[in-house]
């Protein structure tokens, strides 16, 4: 375990990351006005000749403290003095059970609004923060991934925007070293009074638990931070193992194949399930929910319709595959709408149906609805039961009920989103089904 001084840590970090990330043209620094972020901003300001990148400071005004305006004025003054451009975001933090988590979410949303492609976001978390994070997650029962705590380099991703690098160059630096640096350089900073409120879990760990541990183990923060690093390494090895299993168990449609998964040991099954969900950006379930997936879904009969769900995710099974998907909005079998075909039709679940018609071809008395049961489709001189056609096509039950049926003159012409169509329909007519915000590949 090696303790680094702020300048040494920053220089090593910049030399390594600037070489690895030539696409980064601007460094965006989250600046609260406190000790940590003030030191980070000063280091980057004084090392401009070393990194050669433009700087942008971002301050988030949460409005939670009566001193918030003073903090904003202080950051503005510092940035003016050092001639660093500054963006200020005033955010509204919902006062929910976990105010810390809500403020953090609002802060990261503000950061995401400031960065563009070619930026890297730098935050001032340090070794003591890393130790607190490890203890905090340990108390919440985290596994290897969670106990890896914060990573020195990661990504900041936001909907609709490209991910940008997220860097924490001071993770190997103790807070006491940051304090000495600030005093040596005569830096001024502000203190957040909420940091002393023991009602917040992190403050309790920082102000009550770690000082007590430090009396018995003076290097406790350094030891815990090093442990987090070893957990990150162990997690990377587990991810490599999971990726190897995924090649045999996950198909090209992101479906989990039941048979090869059942051949794995229980720990490997749980590892693969987490990997599968992470690859699709779903919130990971707790251990009890994982066991329900293994017991209720993977072991279900092929003709059953098991469902396990938690925030933002549903797990279903059809035949020999498991599907992970966002919760499906309800649709009514009684819904129907007349459709002129010239304009896309908005469906009640937010999807959009559109038609491509060759010149001179049209459909009279066209309307769209969902399955009620008993529908049939004409083809090759015969009339086929739609239910059997959908089963033969391997379409899962929950999708069958959501497929828009296009009728003309009272006769079913096509099942949008599938290849099923009436032989009476002109071969050049095409129907496209997509989400309004994200087209579905069909």
What residue ranges do the domains of the chain occupy? 6-228, 250-325, 336-435
Query: Is the confidence at residue 180, as pLDDT, over 50?
Result: yes
Query: Is the confidence at residue 441, as pLDDT, over 70?
Result: no
pLDDT digits (tens, 9 = 90+) for 50-82: 899 999 999 999 888 889 999 999 999 999 999
**Cβ-based neighbour number of residue 101 at 10 Å:** 10
Asked whether this chain's domains 6-228 and 250-325 adopt the same fold, the reply is: no
The residue that leads in pLDDT, 54 or 341, is 54
As a CATH number, domain 250-325 is 1.20.59.20
Query: Integer distance in angstroms from the first to the last C-alpha of the chain?
Result: 53
* 362 alpha carbon, distance to own chain's centre: 44
Extract the tokens encoding 328.
Answer: 């499906």
Query: Is the confidence at residue 436, as pLDDT, over 60?
Result: yes
pTM of the model: 0.78
Query: Is the confidence at residue 228, as pLDDT, over 90?
Result: yes
3 exposure class (CB count in 10 Å sphere: 0-12, 13-18, 19+) = middle
Q: Would you mind telling me the total number of residues written for the chain in this entry?
A: 442
Under a CB-based contact definition with an 8 Å cutoff, are residues 37 and 30 in contact?
A: yes
Query: For residues 231 and 74, what is the distance between their CA atoms, to the nearest angstrom?
Result: 38
Q: What is the dihedral of CA 7, 8, 14, 19, to 10 degrees?
A: 160
**Cβ-based neighbour number of residue 383 at 10 Å:** 11
Overall average pLDDT of the 104-120 stretch: 93
pLDDT bucket at 193, cuts 50 / 70 / 90: confident
> What is the CATH topology of the domain spanning 6-228?
Rossmann fold (3.40.50)
pLDDT, averaged across the chain: 91
């Amino acid at each position: 375990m090696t303790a680094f001084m702020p300048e040494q840590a920053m220089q090593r970090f910049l030399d390594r990351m600037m070489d690895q990330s030539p696409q980064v043209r601007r460094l965006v620094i989250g600046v609260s006005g406190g000790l940590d972020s003030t030191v980070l901003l000063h280091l980057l300001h004084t090392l401009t000749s070393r990194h050669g990148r433009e700087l942008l400071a971002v301050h988030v005004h949460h409005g939670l403290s009566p001193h918030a305006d003073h903090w904003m004025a202080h950051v503005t003054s510092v940035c003016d003095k050092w001639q660093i451009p500054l963006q200020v975001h005033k955010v509204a933090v919902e006062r929910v059970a976990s105010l810390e988590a809500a403020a953090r979410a609002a802060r990261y949303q503000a950061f995401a609004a400031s960065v563009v492609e070619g930026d890297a976001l730098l935050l001032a978390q340090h070794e003591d923060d890393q130790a607190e994070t490890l203890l905090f997650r340990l108390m919440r029962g985290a596994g290897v991934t969670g106990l890896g705590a914060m990573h020195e380099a990661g990504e900041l991703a936001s909907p609709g925007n490209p991910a940008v690098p997220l860097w924490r160059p001071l993770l190997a630096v103790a807070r006491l070293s940051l304090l000495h640096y600030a005093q040596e350089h005569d830096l001024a900073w502000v203190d957040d009074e909420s940091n002393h409120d023991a009602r917040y879990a992190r403050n309790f760990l920082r102000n009550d638990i770690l000082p007590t541990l430090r009396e018995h183990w003076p290097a406790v923060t350094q030891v815990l931070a090093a442990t987090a690093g070893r957990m990150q390494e162990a997690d990377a090895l587990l991810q490599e193992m999971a990726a190897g299993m995924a090649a045999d168990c996950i198909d090209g449609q992101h479906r989990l194949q039941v048979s090869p998964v059942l051949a794995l040991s229980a720990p490997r099954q749980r590892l693969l399930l987490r990997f599968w969900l992470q690859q699709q950006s779903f919130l990971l379930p707790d251990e009890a929910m994982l066991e329900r997936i293994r017991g209720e879904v993977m072991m279900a009969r092929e003709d059953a319709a098991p469902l396990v769900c938690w925030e933002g995710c549903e797990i279903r099974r059809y035949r020999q595959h498991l599907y992970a998907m966002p919760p499906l909005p309800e649709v009514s079998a009684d819904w129907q709408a007349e459709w002129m075909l010239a304009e896309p039709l908005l469906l009640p679940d937010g999807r959009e149906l559109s038609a491509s018609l060759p010149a001179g071809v049209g459909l009279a008395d066209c309307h769209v609805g969902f399955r009620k049961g008993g529908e049939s489709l004409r083809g090759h001189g015969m009339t086929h039961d739609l239910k059997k056609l959908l089963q033969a096509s391997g379409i899962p039950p929950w999708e069958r009920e959501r497929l828009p049926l296009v009728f003309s003159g009272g006769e079913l012409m096509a099942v949008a989103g599938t290849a099923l169509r009436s032989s009476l329909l002109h071969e050049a007519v095409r129907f496209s089904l997509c989400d309004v915000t994200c087209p579905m590949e069909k």
